[in-house]
Amino acid sequence: MRENWWKSSLKRGVSVEEVKIQALEEVLRAASSAMGTGVSSSPASWIAGLQAARSASDKIRGRVPKLVLLFATEDYDPKALIQGVNFVTGNTPLLGSFTHGYVFNEETVLKNGVVLAIFAPEDVEFSLGVSENPDKNLTETVENALAPVVTRHETLRNRGFPKLSLFVLTDTYVDPDALLDEIHLRVGSDVPISGGIMSDAGFERGSLFWRREVLKDVLIILGIHGKHTTGIGISHGFHPVIPFRVTKSRGNLIKELDDRPALDVLREVFAKKGIGEKEIDLERLFPRFQFGIPDPRRPGTSWIRMPVLALPDGSLKIAGTAEEGTTVWLMEARGEQMHQAVRKAIDLALGNEPWEKITGGLILSGFSRSLAMGENYFKEVEALGKRTGVPFVAANSYIEFICTREGYRGTSTSSILLTLIP
């Protein structure tokens, strides 16, 4: 439970609105220099890393940096980029990833560029673990990556940092539920986990940044140690339109829906929505109309999977799989509901109790989500800045999100995942 000083304020006759303002001011004051963010759009890799790191370093106002988080679009030389960052941050532990889409912070969105955060909170500590080949031996990989985090936690829990949260990145596609199971087996079910598989069901793969290196086929686990756990919120905002039964499929191909070629079924839906045959641009429509595929482990919830390719026989290749006999929903991205997803993610992350402070936020956003929203995506980014009021760094990419917190567990694509660090 967060501290409830605000309740005593209400008892003294202070209005609810005044208490909210006081709470926000306290949160912002506490977070003012605990995390600094910086961006650069310089095409020169070393300079981009240097500029982003200097900007972030200026904002922590002389505090000792504890962690660097780096996201960059794919047009940079990763080694030169990291060297530029390290020129400013020295040996401060670093992790991060290339992205396939935008990078942004609380102030700027970049189609091509670098975004970086330096964390320097006084009452939060960090630990890092890495291990190779999660797709070949997930159990061993998780055990090795978690080992230094668990060891560090055993030391810190007796020094005023009793709570552990995890932020996880991997560039190799693995079953997200299996990954969560392996982690919880070792740290307990009450440890909140957020993060992402930085490849969308095997379609795209990236590279991860680890200290001074660029790695592939690895799992990185960040331990966040503090008095409180992280706040986690995830939401997608897609609206269910119509259900179909998958009558023929193979792997990531949906061949038939209701005994008809899948593409023919979609074309019929487009026609009913007033989209003429000449107006059908699948590259534009696929992000807008995606499939909600039931999650067998969580009744009532669905994975949102985008069609990525139409084949000559009418089959649809999707970012995921759909078993024969499954009832799937065609989902539509609708403006207001997509924006409401941002508010929902923030509200879920904040929870029901006011925070003493928020150091800042980590945001992962699905690439197909930005494609679906078009120019409205920038309104979503603006809303994140206004509603959180704290610094954050964000990556928009092909991501399979993983998320567990009290009362919720899920995996998803085409969503927005917000992790708030106390």
Q: Where are the domains of the chain?
A: 99-236+336-421, 239-332
Instruction: Give the closest residue to 24 by CA, choosing from 291, 388, 404.
Output: 388
Dmax of the chain from CA atoms? 71
The burial of 240, by beta-carbon neighbours within 10 Å (0-12 exposed, 13-18 middle, 19 or more buried), is given as exposed
- Please check whether residue 82 is in contact with residue 94, taking contact to mean a CB–CB distance below 8 angstroms: yes
pLDDT of res. 286: 87
What's the pLDDT score for residue 79? 94
The pLDDT assigned to 105 comes to 93
pLDDT at 19: 54
Per-residue pLDDT of the chain (422 residues; tens, 9 = 90+): 344 434 444 455 556 555 555 555 455 444 558 999 999 999 999 999 999 999 999 999 889 999 999 999 999 999 999 999 999 999 999 999 999 889 999 989 999 999 999 999 999 999 999 999 999 999 999 999 999 999 999 999 999 999 999 999 999 888 888 999 999 999 999 999 999 988 654 455 568 999 999 999 999 999 999 999 999 998 888 889 999 999 999 988 999 999 999 999 999 999 998 887 777 788 888 888 999 888 777 777 778 888 888 999 999 998 778 889 999 999 998 877 887 888 888 888 888 667 778 899 999 988 878 888 877 777 777 777 777 778 999 998 888 888 888 767 766 777 889 999 98
Q: What is the pLDDT of residue 12?
A: 55
| C-alpha distances out from residue 227 to 108, 139, 157, 161, Å | 31, 29, 9, 5
* pLDDT score recorded for residue 18: 58
> Tokens 């009418």, residue?
314
Which pLDDT value is given to residue 291? 92
- pTM, rounded to two decimals: 0.86
